[in-house]
Chains A and B, each alone.
Chain A
Amino acid sequence: MDQATEWRTCEPVIAGGALHVMRCGDGAPVLILHHDIGTLDRTPFYDALSRQFDVVVPHHPGHGRSERPEWMRSVRDMAVVYRWLLGTLGLERVSLVGLGFGGWIAAEMATMAPSLLDRLVLVGPMGIKPPDGHILDQALYNHLEYTRAGFHDQAAYDRVFGAEPPTDLVVEWEICREMNFRVAWKPYMYSQTLPHLLGSVTAPSLVVWGDDDRVVPQSATGPWLENLPDATLEFVENAGHFVDLEQPDALARLVTGFLVG
């Protein structure tokens, strides 16, 4: 294992709850915010970015090894917790990479302190009501069905999670799901106010979509592009919603190019 992929962890207490934070690499700081199904400890996408950047990957409050804050009621609360985390880590100005649900959190953070944002990358972000279609409602699907729906190629799912993911992992997905419900139950997985606030984001933004995303309809690209002042749109081929898990190299190239550009 080369030095660049030596991951370390810390557990700062933010707003009364311990956050599990993974970190690796040197360079400009990049905060990656994971999906609504939690995150694996290591992924090829995280590793790829850590070769050029100081990559910080926290487990969301109530997901994985981070404590569940009983008081938390909204994704905006999560965004404030992450702003607090950045202060605790001494990271003033960062780039944000938000994956799916994490994209919603990243966008909320971007609106809170636009001047502290270097670049914003949103990959299949939730958070805005798609003008056509609905965000796939995990409440109506079992965990295996929902996660599989996030892949264009089912062989990629098998590769990442195993054809029959272990029950421990499915229980983790359930715990994530409960936290998702606590903060994003109604309206489901979007904010009615976020689109009106995105105009404050001055940093260049990259919006990325898997060309076969069945979780967040592609129609949502419209409002993101209309409301973010400086945004470009890219598609990744042969990718579902979990672009980072299905096409990690293609996404890493795209994101790296944008962050250093």
Chain B
Amino acid sequence: MHLMYFTEQPMSTYPQQEGLDFGATALMFSNRHFDPVSGSRLYNEYIEEYKLAESVGIDGIMLNEHHNAPFCMQAKANIFAAILAAVTERMKIVLLGNPLPLAENPVRLAEELAMIDMISRGRLVSGFVRGGGQEQLAAGVNPAFNRERFEEAHDLIIAAWTREGPFRFEGTHYHNRVVNPWALPLQKPYPRVWVPGVISRETIVWAARHRYPYIALNTSIESTRNIWKIYDEEAERCGYTAGPENRGYLQQCHVAETEEKAIENARQFRWMQGEFTGLAHPSWASPAGYSSPNNRRAFVEFSVGRRENPRGITSFEEQVEQGRIICGTPKTVIPRIRRVLEETRPSIYAVWGNDGTVSHADSLSCIRLLGEEVFPAIREIGQELGLHSPFDVDAPVSLAYSPETDRAEVRRQA
């Protein structure tokens, strides 16, 4: 298994009542509530937590980015990835990921990622995402072309990494006169690409078509199984059989010395009033054209207050019941994690350990318990269940580089 640590890097010192009064903590919630002094402290605490994660044997750090919101302090995942490339030695740096549609020049992303891969001596996993709905508004990027831009930016980045320059790229949304980056990834053919997601069928199918592992973000066991069903069927159509190496799962899981403390801290997973990406304004979270047409009606109803969030809102107790939030001492969380692994069989397992106002000391304690007690047991369970990661089995980076694939045909199509 590949076992990772993740935190949203919460900007926990903003005045929470102000957010409740405003009714949203994303996009338009004023940055007059942002305090750079505590921001500076928190960034440095997060770096210390990541370094501890490596020293207690955790395999990777999962990083992400969001904009205009206190639930996530990372405005640029590549900055933390670059820091970790220099201050850590062994762990994977897993970006889940760069929001491709927000990029006006994907070649610049290709350069940044190549630099991170070289500086880290080949430890980069370069996940890609579409970016949240409100991020399209924050970046001024057209939500109606979000998916097209995602796919095209991906194609351009992979070309920049694998095709000898200089060449010209004339796409629909991206037009690059000269692609010839003098920074190329150390890993060949290119760093692994993992694709996280929550709901969109199109993204699952796209990941399966590329044979990129799909990382289900804190979905219920039932939803996760549905995701694998969609993925597996598409994989078969593409001529390969998907397995645990194609599957990842992000789990909210807080571990503490006592049950009481673990429950108290785990309640912080709900610090955004149960919203996954901050207390969202429904219209900003789902601008027109951003969501799958299949979900259009549901998001419209949500937008005008006629139904609950289609992404799902459940109470703390329900989330614990569904296994989406796990908390306790190492002894009590291990069997619960085992159940999730048995039911969904991922080989990539990320623990979202700390959120909200969980203290630095408790965060460090959680990471230590994860690395020293929980993950060693999970690794054994993974062995027993045959959950071998893409690194364990040296899985192909993509379908185009799979043994089943006719390389010449792939090159011709490219």
| Contact between B137 and A143, CB atoms less than 8 A apart | no
Q: Does B278 contact A (CB under 8 A)?
A: no
| Contact between A181 and B300, CB atoms less than 8 A apart | no
Q: Does A185 contact B (CB under 8 A)?
A: yes
Q: Does B284 contact A (CB under 8 A)?
A: yes
Q: Does A186 contact B (CB under 8 A)?
A: yes
Given A167-B306, A186-B140, is A181 in contact with B284 using a C-beta cutoff of 8 Å? no
| Contact between B297 and A186, CB atoms less than 8 A apart | no
Q: Restricting to B277-306, which residues have a CB under 8 Å from any CB of A? A: 282-284, 287-289, 296-297, 300-301, 303-306
Contacts of A180 in B (CB 8 A): 288
What's the Cα separation between A167 and B28 when bound, in Å? 27
Q: Smallest CB–CB gap between B42 and chain A, Å?
A: 29
Q: Restricting to A162-198, which residues have a CB under 8 Å from any CB of B? A: 167, 170-171, 174-175, 177-182, 185-186
Contacts of B142 in A (CB 8 A): 181-182, 185-186
Q: Smallest CB–CB gap between A101 and chain B, Å?
A: 14
What's the Cα separation between A143 and B296 when bound, in Å? 13
Contacts of A179 in B (CB 8 A): 144
Q: When each residue 126-169 of chain A gets 1 if its CB lies under 8 Å from chain B and 0 otherwise, what string results?
A: 00000000000001111110000000000000000000000100
- State how many residues of chain B have any CB contact under 8 Å with chain A: 21
| Contact between B297 and A178, CB atoms less than 8 A apart | no
Q: Smallest CB–CB gap between B218 and chain A, Å?
A: 26
What's the Cα separation between A175 and B142 when bound, in Å? 15
CB-based nearest B residue for A137: B137
- State how many residues of chain A have any CB contact under 8 Å with chain B: 19
Q: Does B145 contact A (CB under 8 A)?
A: yes
What's the Cα separation between A139 and B285 when bound, in Å? 10
Contacts of B304 in A (CB 8 A): 142-144, 170
Contacts of A185 in B (CB 8 A): 142, 144
CB-based nearest B residue for A188: B140
| Contact between A171 and B296, CB atoms less than 8 A apart | yes
Q: Does B143 contact A (CB under 8 A)?
A: yes
Q: Smallest CB–CB gap between A147 and chain B, Å?
A: 10
Contacts of A141 in B (CB 8 A): 283
| Contact between B303 and A140, CB atoms less than 8 A apart | no
CB-based nearest B residue for A173: B300
| Contact between A143 and B144, CB atoms less than 8 A apart | no
Q: Smallest CB–CB gap between A98 and chain B, Å?
A: 22
| Contact between B143 and A181, CB atoms less than 8 A apart | yes
Q: When each residue 122-158 of chain B gets 1 if its CB lies under 8 Å from chain A and 0 otherwise, what string results?
A: 0000000000000001001011110000000000000
CB-based nearest A residue for B299: A174
Q: Smallest CB–CB gap between B175 and chain A, Å?
A: 13
Q: Which of A140, A167, A174, A177 contacts B137 (CB 8 A)?
A: A140
Q: Which of A143, A181, A182 contacts B303 (CB 8 A)?
A: A143
| Contact between B288 and A174, CB atoms less than 8 A apart | yes
Contacts of B296 in A (CB 8 A): 171, 174-175
Could you give 29 example pairs across A and B, Cβ below 8 Å?
Answer: A139-B283, A140-B28, A140-B137, A140-B283, A140-B284, A142-B282, A142-B303, A142-B304, A142-B305, A143-B303, A144-B304, A167-B301, A167-B306, A170-B300, A170-B304, A171-B297, A171-B300, A174-B288, A174-B303, A177-B288, A177-B289, A178-B144, A178-B288, A180-B288, A181-B287, A181-B288, A182-B142, A182-B144, A185-B142
- B residues near A (Cβ < 8 Å) are 28, 137, 140, 142-145, 282-284, 287-289, 296-297, 300-301, 303-306
Q: Which 3 residue pairs are nearest across A and B when measured between Cβ atoms?
A: A177-B288, A178-B288, A178-B289
